[in-house]
Structure 1
Amino acid sequence: MFGFRSSVKKVAGLLLAGLMASGAVAVQAQVTHRTRRESSANRKARIARTTAETYDHRYEVAGGGGYMRFKSGSLLQRNNEVTFWMTGTYFLNPKLGIIGEVRGAYGNAKIANNLGSPVTLPFNPQISQYPFLGGVAYRVYAKEKIAVTVTGEGGAALGKFDGDAKGFQSKDIGVWQDATKPAFALGANFDYNFYPNIAFRVSPTYLATFFRLDPLDLTHGPQSTIQNNFGVNVGIVYRFGKIK
């Protein structure tokens, strides 16, 4: 009888220990689940704070370099140009901003393809353009790390086309006449945010200019035209100040 009671006690003890262990595991699982849920909530709150801090800056300055394809005369092939750009933006709210921008582009006109010219140069003269633009920017996508902004700008572009032509004038070699003409640009800024106030930017851009041939040039195509120029700019963005 004593042995039977001892066995019953042992079995009861084992069952009790199992129940207590099961309860501890259940409690631990609940605590772990609650901790994970709280971590996810904290992460979302942190991302929301960082996003709000990033796009609550009043001012944005940016600059860098790039590449553009430019048509330097009515009958000339397009040439490659290296570019620089500097821009400043004043944000009225986290989405809408006012832009001011300065650009520069440098390349060599392809005079060897100048049909009908009595002048043959042993080199391709350097040309340059300097657009001065202003307009608006609108953020269409804004997350913690990525932002997309579309831009529209208008202004004027200063063109210098025959300064490197060894004494020949634009009408002799078929490039545009030196002048300041209207210009406008459309683009999109793709920003990757390293920090709330610093980002890396890639900007595909379209630039329209309205340079003309010299009025005395009767051999190199239409006097009035529009140059449809496409390129891409890259650079660094710095944000500061607060909207609110």
Structure 2
Amino acid sequence: MFGFRLSVKNVAAVLLAALIASGAGAAQAQSTHRTRRESNANRKARIARTIQETYSHRWEVGGGGGYQRFRSGENLQRNNQVTWETWGQYNLSPKLGIVANGTGAYGNAKISNFYSLNNIFRPSIQQYNVLGGVAYRFYAKEKLSASVQALGGVSIGLFQGNITPLKSEQIGMWPSQTRPAFNVALNLDYNLYPNFAIRVAPTYTGTTFGGTVQNNLGFKVGVVYRFGKIK
């Protein structure tokens, strides 16, 4: 009889311990779930603050380099050009900005071998563009943003290179002149900090040397620095 009562007590003790452990586990799970939920809420709030801080800057300035394909004469092959670019942007809102842009491009024209008789080999060419227009940001996240820009202005073409005393048009190249130009680009920014980003952008630049349109494709890689606040 004594042994039976002892067994009952043991069983009761085990059940009580199991209930306590179960309750403690449930309480811990509930506490962990609440902590995780609060952590997610804090993370979302932090991301929202970062996005607000990143895209509420009044000014953006930047610069970089790139590559472009250019046809230096109506009947000439396209040649490779190394480019540089610098720009400034005044933001009217987190999405819309006014852009001023300056670029340079350098390469060597692919002319006929006939002119090698005059010691003319792949004459150097240069273009300098002064453009202005607008940019519109259509995607804005904590780390990534995307915007399109459309610019118009002039391109200064210097095609004389090392061909003196000949003129560039005498060997099938465009004449050295200043002509209307326009540019369209897709700017893809990776934000390292709210005020600093790396930019990669495929670009299209239209120039009009010789009274025709040259469709020049390329890309640029650069940095963006943001400052000031939109009030």
Whether TM exceeds 0.5 here: the answer is yes
Tell me the equivalent position of 1:137.
135
Residue matched to 2:46:
46
Query: Does structure 2 conserve the Cα–Cα contact (< 8 Å) formed by 1:111 and 1:120?
Result: no
Aligned 8 A contact 1:112 1:121 in 2:
no
Give the one of 171, 174, 177 matched to 1:176: 174
Q: How many aligned residue pairs are there?
A: 231
CA contact (8 A) 2:128 2:157 kept: yes
**Could you tell me whether the CA contact under 8 Å between 2:120 and 2:163 is conserved in 1?**
no
Match of 2:222 in 1: 235
Question: Displacement, 1:122?
Answer: 4.0
Per the TM alignment, residue 121 of structure 1 is displaced from its structure 2 partner at its CA by: 4.2
> What is the CA distance between 1:158 and its match in structure 2?
0.6
Give the TM-score taking structure 2 as reference length. Answer: 0.95
| Separation (CA, whole Å) in 2 of partners of 1:166 and 1:178 | 13
Q: Give the corresponding residue for 2:78.
A: 78
Please tell me whether the aligned partners of residues 120 and 162 of structure 2 are also in contact (alpha carbons under 8 angstroms).
no
Amino acid at match of 2:180: P
Q: Deviations over 1:138-179 (max 9, x none)?
A: 001110111000000000011100132132112321211111
Give the counterpart letter for 1:195 in structure 2. Answer: Y
In 2, Cα distance between equivalents of 1:170 and 1:4: 115
Spell out the pairing of 1:115-194 with structure 2 (5 A cutoff): 121-194=119-192
1:235–1:44 Cα change, 3 Å: same
Q: State the alpha-carbon separation in 2 of the partners of residues 118 and 14 from structure 1.
A: 101
Give the percent of matched residue pairs that are identical in Structure 1 and Structure 2. Answer: 61
The residue identity in structure 1 corresponding to 2:26 is A
Aligned to 1:111, what secondary structure does the other structure show?
A: coil
The residue that corresponds to 1:64 in the other structure is 64
Task: Give the alignment's Cα RMSD to 1 decimal.
Answer: 1.6
Aligned position for 2:112: 112
Q: Is the 8 A contact 1:59 1:89 kept in 2?
A: yes
CA contact (8 A) 1:127 1:160 kept: yes
1:113, distance to aligned residue in structure 2 (A): 6.3
Opposite residue 172 of structure 1, the aligned amino acid is: Q
Runs of 5+ unmatched residues, structure 1: 213-223
Please state whether the residue corresponding to 2:53 is helix, strand or coil. Answer: helix
